[in-house]
Structure 1
Amino acid sequence: MLLGLTGDPRWPVPAEALVEARCFLERQKDRHVVVAPHTDVDGLSSGVLALRALRTLGARTTPRLPGKGEHAHSPAFQERLRGAGAEALVVLDMGSRPAPIVPGLPTLVVDHHPSTEFPEGALVLSSSGHEPVAPTSLLTYALVSPLIVPGPLEWLAVLGTVADLGAETALPSLKDALRRAGRKAITEAVALLNAARRSSRFAAPLALEVLMRAGSASDISEGRIPGVDALRDCRLEVQREVARCAKAPPRFSGKVALLLFSSGAQVHPLVAVRWAQRLPEHIVVAANAGYLPGRVNFSLRSREPRDLIEFLRGLNLPPFQGEFAHGHAHATGGSLSAREFLRFTEALGFRGLQANDVERRGVAPG
């Protein structure tokens, strides 16, 4: 049995929801459609599946990726989406917020993040609440399988699923699908593709190109297609930056540990995961003042089964202009100005921090 194609009419989402979303795609024949996926492996795999299905249906497609620090509701990215002159939009793995993305443009959102709010006017296909929750790549695979030859593209659903949930997650048929795709090849491809967006050069567009060229995970893991060598360079950079920034000494406030450092690479989630293993009873906040100019990007992780989004919301802080408490219950964070970040850390109990504690510091950890 192919991954996710169990015949269960209620999973990964109710069958009627799949039919409605599929009809949206089928209506795009001979139309220009922009496909906008998130830049992690789950999002990129979803994007390739959607692009292949739409092209099979006869649509003209244009992929558009958010830039460094952007998402579907970032004004600069929305402006680029509008500028594409498309007749429809498909947003994958980053649409679980209110407000239209491109007002007036027919939009399909495919997502799995927990949310009760989605873009106004969009058709939404969300696996959130349908246990076990399928990641966006698996949901997209279930959506487009009747429109393509599904077998040769199953590895893309496996790739995104393993990237988001791990190889041991309990999803129907994953064990067999992972064997077919090649476990070693999948895990290596996940590491390479994720490194692209984490690198300071932000090579997510290259990762998408590699995925579009590949016919299997082993094409990537064995370097049989152009672009893989550059992905390997990205991984080496990220590994070096994680090792460097993880040396930042933690500060403590009760059961919260705060690490401050500065890197142009998106290593704050990886540093948070590493320190959460070292401090299993703490909530770890890994804060990176060097990722985006004028901002502090941070990630929260904990080995305890805590809802970290609820933890952040429970601080009862006034609304921020920046990003705060989105993502997953066990993997969240934000992106705030230095002033907002200091308000946030004060609410956590870290008093006495100054603006120079969260300045961009080039190559030196904070």
Structure 2
Amino acid sequence: MSLVGAEALVVLAMGNRAAPILPDLPTLIVDHHPTTEFPEGAQVLSSHGHEPVVPSSLLTYALVSPLIIPGPLEWLAVLGTVAELGPDAPLPSLKDALRRAGRKAVTEAVALLNAARRSTHFAASLALEVLMRAGSASDIDEGRVPGVDALRDCRLEVQREVARCSKTPPRIAGNVALLLFSSGAQVHPLVAIRWAQRLPEHIVIAANAGYLPGRVDFALRSREPRDLIAFLRGLDLAPVEGDFAHGHPHATGGSLSSRDFLRLTEALGFRGLQAHDVERRGVAPG
């Protein structure tokens, strides 16, 4: 960071992690995830524990509004809020702000920008460039800035992968449904959402063995109002290495080594899974 002359660090929506980031820099964290664990010495602006729990984009908008003319940036706060909570989130003033930004334009822009990150191309940097060039959600929706066509290609790829991987037959153990598939795209959260609608009484785990080499990335969802973080942490499971049980109570998951993921499935009641069950493979859905 010293090479670019940074004087401070601002981190948005980091999640519930207490590990240090850059200890030598003054740090401000803007977040909404359910945690009290933050890097030592960091200043924190968090909506966790307050109702309604507003997303980091809206917190950021409130933070900078006294320093700038906020109106031209309102659509960005709306974009982030809709991406996190959906267009019908029960937040004060969202309905009017969404009307000003254009509901269709906002939802389409959210879909395109998210697809860039989920794509096998991992075009997150392109999505950021599009976002920085745009002056409104309509600029993205209507393709008035360079890069939108590539985002549309990413979206089409993600849609195809979600459809393919959603054909995976679930394994059932008690009230848990496990879907094992392999995709280079980050589609496991979307597959979990889709199957949670089909199996409303189950906790759905969509596990992707093809996203990161040597790891299984997985997402938990349920239509029931369950605390999924508490569910994972309550398992009789020895400590694991990797990302595990972070995020939101109703939308969590992780990224584990194949070995640790097999230990997780054993604790969940899925007997007999072997290393070859969680290997990268071709386009077969399950």
Q: What's the TM-score once normalised by structure 2's chain length? A: 0.98
Residue 322 of structure 1 corresponds to 242
Residue 192 of structure 2 corresponds to 272
1:1-366 maps to which residues of 2 (within 5 A)?
84-366=4-286
Please report how far the alpha carbon of residue 314 of structure 1 lies from its aligned counterpart in structure 2 after TM superposition: 0.8
Query: Counterpart of 2:85 in structure 1: which amino acid?
Result: L
Closer/same/farther in 2, CA of residues 242 and 120 from structure 1, 3 Å limit:
same
CA contact (8 A) 2:16 2:247 kept: no
Please report how far the alpha carbon of residue 83 of structure 1 lies from its aligned counterpart in structure 2 after TM superposition: 6.1
CA contact (8 A) 2:246 2:253 kept: yes
Matches of 2:50 and 2:236 in 1, distance apart?
Answer: 29
Aligned length: 286
Query: Counterpart of 1:88 in structure 2: which amino acid?
Result: A
Closer/same/farther in 2, CA of residues 146 and 234 from structure 1, 3 Å limit:
same
Please report how far the alpha carbon of residue 148 of structure 1 lies from its aligned counterpart in structure 2 after TM superposition: 1.4
For 1:252-306, what per-residue CA distance to the aligned partner results, in whole angstroms no more than 9, with x for missing partners? Answer: 0010000000000000000000000000000000000000000000000000000
Please report how far the alpha carbon of residue 125 of structure 1 lies from its aligned counterpart in structure 2 after TM superposition: 0.8
Q: Any idea what SS the aligned residue of 2:90 has? A: coil
Closer/same/farther in 2, CA of residues 249 and 95 from structure 1, 3 Å limit:
closer
Please report how far the alpha carbon of residue 196 of structure 1 lies from its aligned counterpart in structure 2 after TM superposition: 0.6
Matches of 1:95 and 1:327 in 2, distance apart?
Answer: 6
Matches of 1:299 and 1:238 in 2, distance apart?
Answer: 16
Please report how far the alpha carbon of residue 121 of structure 1 lies from its aligned counterpart in structure 2 after TM superposition: 1.2
Query: Counterpart of 2:273 in structure 1: which amino acid?
Result: L
Fraction of identical pairs, as percent: 84
Matches of 2:41 and 2:283 in 1, distance apart?
Answer: 45
Query: Counterpart of 1:321 in structure 2: which amino acid?
Result: E
Query: Counterpart of 2:281 in structure 1: which amino acid?
Result: R
Q: Any idea what SS the aligned residue of 1:296 has? A: strand
Please report how far the alpha carbon of residue 86 of structure 1 lies from its aligned counterpart in structure 2 after TM superposition: 2.0
Q: Any idea what SS the aligned residue of 1:108 has? A: strand
Matches of 1:127 and 1:239 in 2, distance apart?
Answer: 33
Matches of 2:169 and 2:149 in 1, distance apart?
Answer: 34
Matches of 1:84 and 1:227 in 2, distance apart?
Answer: 27
Matches of 1:82 and 1:187 in 2, distance apart?
Answer: 38
Q: Any idea what SS the aligned residue of 2:10 has? A: strand
Q: Any idea what SS the aligned residue of 2:44 has? A: strand
Matches of 1:349 and 1:212 in 2, distance apart?
Answer: 47
Please report how far the alpha carbon of residue 130 of structure 1 lies from its aligned counterpart in structure 2 after TM superposition: 1.2
Gap regions ≥5 residues in structure 1: 1-80
Gap regions ≥5 residues in structure 2: none
CA contact (8 A) 1:196 1:207 kept: yes
Query: Counterpart of 1:252 in structure 2: which amino acid?
Result: I
Residue 17 of structure 1 corresponds to none
CA contact (8 A) 2:19 2:39 kept: yes
Closer/same/farther in 2, CA of residues 82 and 300 from structure 1, 3 Å limit:
farther
Residue 73 of structure 1 corresponds to none
Matches of 2:160 and 2:15 in 1, distance apart?
Answer: 32
CA contact (8 A) 1:95 1:119 kept: no
Matches of 1:267 and 1:128 in 2, distance apart?
Answer: 27
Query: Counterpart of 2:34 in structure 1: which amino acid?
Result: P
Q: Provide the alpha-carbon RMSD of the alignment.
A: 1.1
Q: Any idea what SS the aligned residue of 2:108 has? A: helix
